[in-house]
């Protein structure tokens, strides 16, 4: 960390010197921890200008549209790696050797089953419950089954919990889908790779075990990679905040799932398909672009814009390429929603409102079209995002707990009543 300084001059007070810290790459940060001595706080609703922690996991350059996981560009990982190798990288900081990869894959494979009693949790939900509501409940309930790995101060327990969560999320996600369909839940198979196994548990039934298309499995694996981690986004920050109180890892991940569900965050992929359905036809695009620009209209162009990216989201670029591959492989030549999405992107990107605000398609804009082509229902899109992001959440949770940390407890600017007394002789 550098010895640069910043000076804060508050009228009538001596200047306050604040250290300026420099990372490996990216913007410097002003360390305001000593500010409490002045009896003042920083004020930054939405954390637009706040770095909440130091991290070595993921780096985003929003202006250049760069996304690195432990230094490796997302484009290279999506093209040359696979999801479990990317999981190992995020969790451990380095790519695995052949032996380490084989051991990691074997560990994950041997933890994909869930406790048989977990099935009974599903029966408490209506069949038409939103799958994300079920995921919040069932994942949070996992802590009731794994008392042997809840000591968050024990590195071995943290490791076991991380493996269990990465291994079991696809099983639970598929169980959620099967429950909504009224079909029997499928057990995982150890002879399939991670993405194949997920598609097997989603789409096969005890009556018929069809082979999994390698193209669809590869596309699924790539979608998992593209959603694996993204620095201190809302759901990851939620996991860190929950973890800072000492909550068990399953509760922290359930909190992350809840935060991801919002349409401004991971719920956007589902909202993009609903928006495309609402637009319906290219002839309506201008009307919806106008709605998106109208400050009095809450409508936003779903799948567009990003807090950090003020250039193209590199994941959206890879996602669009994958879209073309999957639709091509499936012989879907003129998918109306893809045509509409491409036209919408074209028009929006020429519109001054979007250009001035650097609003580009984000990871959610094209992902739904691929997921739909694979046969996944819209209501499951955010569940897939949560499945894939679990490794990112748990990597940040592990990183925070492996060093000194404090419980997250922001302050506020209070603008309510000053002290006052209750009226005398009340009835
Ligand atoms: C994800 O943080 C992450 O890393 C998240 C994520 C991850 O991997 O974890 O990348 C995943 O959540 C991607 C984002 C998915 N959400 C959407 O696609 C929903 C639509 N997008 C917007 O809601 C919005 O762009 C956000 C929430 C993504 C970002 O919002 P910000 O950073 O708070 O920006 P803002 O709302 O202040 O927007 C700045 C301006 C505003 O206009 P002005 O007040 O300057 O006039 O841009 C406008 C906004 O009204 N704007 C949009 C818009 N997004 C921003 N206008 C129309 N349509 C949009 N989509």
Per-residue model confidence as pLDDT tens digits over 41-55:
999 999 999 999 999
Tens of pLDDT, residue by residue over 101-119, are 999 999 999 999 999 999 9
Closest to 125 in 3D by CA, of 172, 187, 68, 56: 172
Q: Look at residue 162 and tell me if it is in a domain.
A: yes
Q: Which residues contact 387 (CB under 8 A, 6 or more apart)?
A: 169, 170, 173, 198, 224
Confidence of residue 148 (pLDDT cuts 50, 70, 90): confident
- Residue 298 is assigned to a structural domain of this protein: yes
Asked if residue 288 and residue 174 are part of one domain, the reply reads yes
The overall average pLDDT reported for the chain is 95
In the three-class reduction of DSSP (H, G, I as helix; E, B as strand; rest coil), residue 305 is classed as: coil
Q: Between the CA of residue 313 and those of 63, 214, 227, what are the distances in Å? A: 10, 27, 12
Q: Reduce the DSSP state of residue 18 to 3 states and report it.
A: strand
Decide if pLDDT at 335 tops 70. yes
Q: Is residue 251 part of a domain?
A: yes
Which ligand 1 atom sits nearest the alpha carbon of residue 303? Answer: 18
Domain housing 329: 110-403
Q: Does residue 200 sit in the same domain as residue 347?
A: yes
- Domain count of the fold of the chain: 2
Q: Is residue 78 part of a domain?
A: no
306 an active-site residue?
yes
Domain assignment of residue 74, yes or no: no
CA of 304 relative to ligand 1 center, distance in Å: 7
Cα 194 to Cα 180: distance, rounded to the nearest angstrom: 22
Contact criterion met (CB below 8 Å) for 306 and 313 = yes
Asked whether residue 120 is domain-assigned, the answer is yes
| CATH code where residue 289 lies | 1.10.580.10
- Domain-located, residue 383: yes
343/273 same-domain check: yes
Is 176 found in the same domain as 39?
A: no
Mean pLDDT of 31-50: 95
The tens digit of pLDDT for each residue in 272-319 reads 999 999 999 999 999 999 999 999 999 999 999 999 999 899 999 999
Radius of gyration for the chain, computed over Cα atoms and rounded to the nearest angstrom: 23
Separation of CA 261 and ligand 1 centre (Å): 15
Given this model, what pLDDT does residue 249 score? 97
Give the pLDDT band (50/70/90) at residue 334. Answer: confident
CB neighbour list of residue 213: distance below 8 Å, 6 or more residues apart: 199, 329
Are residues 394 and 295 located together in one domain of the fold? yes
Whether 1 shows a pLDDT value over 60: the answer reads no
**Percent of the chain, pLDDT > 90?**
92
Q: For a substitution probing ligand 1, which of 272, 306, 364 has the most ligand atoms within 8 Å of its CB? A: 306
Taking each helix axis from N to C end, the angle separating 363-374 and 314-329, rounded to the nearest 10 degrees, works out to 20
Catalytic residue among 82, 221, 229, 364: 364
Is 364 designated active site?
yes
User: What is the pLDDT confidence band of residue 376, given thresholds at 50, 70 and 90?
Assistant: very high
CA of 371 to the centre of ligand 1 (A): 22
Q: Is residue 326 part of a domain?
A: yes
Residues 255/239, Cβ–Cβ less than 8 Å? yes
Answer whether residue 2 shows pLDDT above 60.
no
Point out the catalytic residue in the list 200, 230, 306, 396: 306
* Position 141 pLDDT exceeds 90: yes
């Amino acid at each position: 960390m550098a010895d640069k300084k910043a000076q804060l001059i508050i009228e009538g007070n001596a200047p306050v010197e604040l250290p300026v810290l420099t990372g490996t790459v990216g913007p410097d940060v002003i360390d305001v921890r000593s500010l409490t001595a002045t009896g003042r706080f920083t004020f930054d609703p939405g954390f637009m200008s706040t770095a909440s922690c130091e991290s070595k996991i993921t780096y985003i350059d929003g202006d250049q549209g760069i996304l690195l996981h432990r230094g490796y560009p997302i484009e290279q990982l999506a093209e040359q790696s696979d999801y479990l190798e990317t999981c190992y990288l995020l969790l451990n900081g380095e790519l695995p050797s052949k032996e380490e990869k084989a051991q990691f894959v074997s560990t994950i494979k041997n933890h994909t089953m869930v406790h048989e009693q977990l099935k009974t949790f599903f029966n408490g939900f209506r069949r038409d419950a939103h799958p994300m509501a079920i995921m919040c409940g069932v994942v949070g309930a996992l802590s009731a089954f794994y008392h042997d790995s809840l000591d968050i101060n024990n590195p071995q327990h943290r490791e076991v919990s991380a493996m269990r969560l990465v291994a079991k999320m696809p099983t639970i996600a598929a169980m959620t889908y099967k429950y909504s369909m009224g079909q029997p839940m499928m057990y995982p198979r150890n002879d399939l790779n991670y993405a194949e196994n997920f598609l097997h548990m989603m789409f096969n039934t005890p009556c018929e075990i069809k082979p999994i298309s390698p193209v669809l499995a590869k596309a699924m694996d790539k979608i998992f990679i593209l959603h694996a981690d993204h620095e201190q986004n809302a759901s990851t920050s939620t996991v860190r905040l929950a973890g800072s109180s000492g909550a068990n890892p399953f509760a922290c991940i359930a909190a992350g799932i809840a935060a991801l569900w919002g349409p401004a965050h991971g719920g956007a992929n589902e909202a993009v398909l609903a928006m495309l359905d609402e637009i319906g036809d290219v002839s309506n695009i201008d009307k919806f672009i106008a709605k998106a620009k109208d400050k009095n209209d809450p409508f936003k162009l779903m799948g567009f814009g990003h807090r950090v990216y003020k250039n193209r989201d590199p994941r959206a670029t890879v996602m669009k390429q994958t879209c073309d591959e999957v639709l091509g492989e499936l012989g879907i030549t003129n998918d109306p929603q893809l045509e509409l999405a491409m036209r919408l992107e074209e028009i929006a990107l020429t519109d001054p409102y979007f250009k001035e605000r650097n609003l580009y398609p984000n990871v959610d804009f094209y992902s739904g079209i691929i997921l739909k082509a694979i046969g996944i229902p819209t209501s499951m899109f955010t569940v897939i995002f949560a499945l894939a992001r679990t490794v990112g959440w748990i990597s940040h949770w592990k990183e925070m707990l492996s060093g000194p940390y404090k419980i997250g407890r922001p302050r506020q600017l209070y603008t309510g009543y000053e002290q006052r007394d209750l009226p005398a002789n009340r009835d």
